[in-house]
Amino acid sequence: MEIKIIKSVETYPLRIEILRKGIAKDFQFVGDDVATTFHLGAFMHDECIGILSCMKKEHALWNETHVYQLRGMAVKSDLQNSGVGKALIIESLKILKERDCKLVWCNARETAVGFYEKMNFKTIGSRFQIPKVGPHFVMVFTLE
Ligand X SMILES: CC(C)(COP(=O)(O)OP(=O)(O)OC[C@H]1O[C@@H](n2cnc3c(N)ncnc32)[C@H](O)[C@@H]1OP(=O)(O)O)[C@@H](O)C(=O)NCCC(=O)NCCS
7, 21 Cβ separation under 8 angstroms: no
Residues in contact with 70: Cβ distance below 8 Å, sequence separation at least 6, in sequence order: 52, 53, 54, 89, 92, 104, 105, 106
41 binds ligand X (CB under 6 A): no
Residues 89-118 that bind ligand X (CB under 6 A): 108-109, 111-112, 114-115, 118
Question: Among 25, 115, 28, which residue's Cα sits nearest to residue 71?
Answer: 28
83 binds ligand X (CB under 6 A): yes
| Options 3, 40, 74, 104; binder of ligand X; rule CB under 6 A | 74
Q: Contact between 21 and ligand X (CB under 6 A)? A: no
Residues that bind ligand X (CB under 6 A): 18-19, 73-75, 80-86, 108-109, 111-112, 114-115, 118
